[in-house]
Amino acid sequence: MLATSHVSLSSVTDPVEARRVHVADSLSGLACAEVREATRAVDLGSGAGFPGLPLALELPECRFTLIDSVGRKVEFMGRAISALGLENAEALKVRSEAMATAGGRESFDLVTARAVAPLPALAELASPLLEDGGHLVAWKGEPEPDSEEIIAANRDRLAMELRQRVAVVPFEGSRERHLYVLVKAGPTPDGLPRRPGMARKRPLGGDGSSARSSSANK
């Protein structure tokens, strides 16, 4: 379906290569118990459905909600869900901030995100969607020490803490990648979510709130 879609979803559409680059990489999330044991998950910026769709196939007891703000991508995911016969997945055209101000607030135990946004932005977007003790698992290429500092410095603003960084090799010949696992530590702070787009436009750490900025101001 990805290879024949008229919608531009990925530069990798060869089925053999896509199984490695998209499917195997998505399934590398199973290295985390936080993914394997989830029961209610939301996948941010799902695009063509990665990692949400492969994980939904592997974890039939978990209910996956795949969200994206681009209608044509959501339509593709809906067709894929129907073709796969997935009963534990749905695709919605909605921004995470809007979902968090409505029925999705603090109602998930897992948020996943692959190639969506910088880690601090993901932590901010995930926090109001997660119940206390829920987890964000973010697929990243290289370690992001600056992002780790920003999240630690803004712990009270996010109610999110870094739990671990898991190194994975999704398929033979792949370079090592990293899964960041963050935990929701307490109720959602006042002020979250911010207005749609603010997590990217005015990211934490870009306004003097990061550890690095704090040190520079001393």
Going from N- to C-terminal start, the domains of the chain cover: 15-217
Q: Which two tokens stand for residue 52?
A: 């949400």
What does the pLDDT look like over 40-62, one tens digit per residue? 999 999 999 999 999 999 999 99
Q: Could you tell me the pLDDT band of residue 194, with boundaries at 50, 70 and 90?
A: very high
Note if the bond before 15 is cis, omega within 30 degrees.
no
Q: Is the pTM of this model over 0.75?
A: yes
Q: Where are the alpha helices (DSSP H) in the chain?
A: 15-18, 25-27, 33-36, 52-58, 71-84, 96-100, 119-126, 145-153, 155-158, 198-201, 211-217
Q: What is the CATH number of domain 15-217?
A: 3.40.50.150
- pLDDT exceeding 70 applies to what percent of the chain? 94
